[in-house]
């Protein structure tokens, strides 16, 4: 199995070179197969906030145009957050590759926080934005950071193997820039990366792939304009199994409509007729066959 990553604007997908078919990504699997109860409240709140923030503008529109604006209001908020996250990721990736970057003022607080994380944990990133894939379970993904970090000498980290310099090697870290912190599904995302069969540092070169190295630590770094938090995340066999369940649920949901056929027409006309008759006891009339 050889994989290449295709991109179009902000979107990307994975293609099996041999067959030409798309292979689902880990985040797509989670979007399709995992309930997002928090999104229901977020959607309602985002629409209400959009209405309040744009009240005067909406009041000038015809009711149908106003409704259209309100329906799309939450997507404007989502797209803004998504764009910001993508840009911060790209800038962080280039910094980890020791490139010089020009940071827009709007993103400066996030990038400053990202740099603080790299500096204070003495991050040694060995692979950044590397493609990983599972041949056995046919899924792909793009991990954020794979490398070595210097964790504090605390009892909860004593079980982690360290090199001669005290670094925890082969750490797998995902970076998040959302407002709400690290969601539980991040455990499934990291488990998908951790238990992939192969890592491919160059997304365009299938021949750069090698066996996925063993992972010793999984975590997520929450990048905020006011700082950052490195948060341990449990991503073990159990979480990987849950990811595979989500994959199956998503597969079912995508094809569920095809399981339902058309109504069956009766082979003969009905012989039954519904008629009204007088009730012998002068009670209110009823429908009798």
Q: On the CB side of 213, how many CA atoms lie within 13 Å of its CA? A: 15
| Domain edges within the chain | 3-254
Q: For the residues of 39-84, what is the DSSP string, one character each?
A: HHHHHHHHHHHHHHHTHHHHHTS-HHHHHHHHHHHHHHHHHHHHHH
Instruction: Please check whether residue 196 is in contact with residue 243, taking contact to mean a CB–CB distance below 8 angstroms.
Output: no
What pTM was computed for the model?
A: 0.83
| Residue-level pLDDT, tens digit, the chain, 289 residues | 889 898 877 778 899 998 999 999 999 999 999 887 777 777 788 788 888 888 888 888 888 888 888 887 776 766 677 788 888 989 999 999 889 889 999 999 999 999 999 999 999 999 999 999 999 999 999 999 999 999 999 998 999 999 999 999 999 999 999 888 899 999 999 999 999 999 999 988 999 999 999 999 999 999 999 999 999 999 999 999 999 999 999 999 989 989 999 999 888 877 777 777 776 666 555 555 4
Instruction: Please check whether residue 131 is in contact with residue 142, taking contact to mean a CB–CB distance below 8 angstroms.
Output: yes
Of the candidates 88, 34, 68, 16, the residue with the CA atom closest to the CA atom of residue 243:
34
């Amino acid at each position: 199995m050889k994989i290449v990553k295709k991109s179009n604007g902000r979107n990307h997908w994975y293609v099996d070179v041999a067959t030409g078919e798309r292979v689902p990504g880990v985040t797509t699997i989670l979007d399709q197969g995992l309930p997002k109860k928090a999104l229901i409240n977020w959607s309602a709140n985002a629409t209400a906030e959009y209405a309040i923030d744009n009240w005067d503008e909406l009041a000038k529109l015809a009711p149908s145009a106003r409704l259209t604006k309100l329906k799309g209001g939450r997507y404007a908020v989502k797209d803004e957050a998504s764009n910001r996250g993508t840009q911060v990721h790209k800038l962080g990736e280039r910094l980890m590759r020791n490139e010089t970057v020009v940071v827009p003022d709007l993103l400066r607080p996030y990038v400053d926080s990202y740099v603080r994380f790299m500096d204070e944990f003495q991050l040694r990133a060995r692979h950044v934005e590397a493609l990983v894939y599972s041949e056995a379970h046919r899924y792909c993904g793009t991990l954020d950071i794979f490398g070595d970090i210097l964790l504090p000498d605390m009892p909860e980290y004593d079980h982690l193997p360290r090199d001669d310099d005290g670094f925890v090697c082969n750490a797998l870290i995902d970076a998040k820039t959302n407002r709400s912190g690290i969601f539980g599904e991040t455990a499934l995302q990291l488990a998908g990366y951790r238990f992939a069969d192969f890592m491919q540092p160059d997304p365009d070169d299938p021949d750069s792939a090698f066996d996925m190295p063993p992972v010793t630590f999984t975590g997520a770094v929450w990048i905020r304009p006011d700082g950052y938090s490195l948060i341990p995340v449990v991503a073990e066999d159990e979480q990987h199994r849950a990811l595979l369940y989500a994959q199956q649920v998503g597969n079912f949901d995508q094809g569920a409509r095809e399981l339902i056929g058309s109504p069956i027409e009766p082979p003969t006309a009905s012989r039954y007729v519904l008629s009204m008759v007088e009730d012998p006891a002068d009670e209110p009339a009823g429908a009798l066959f």
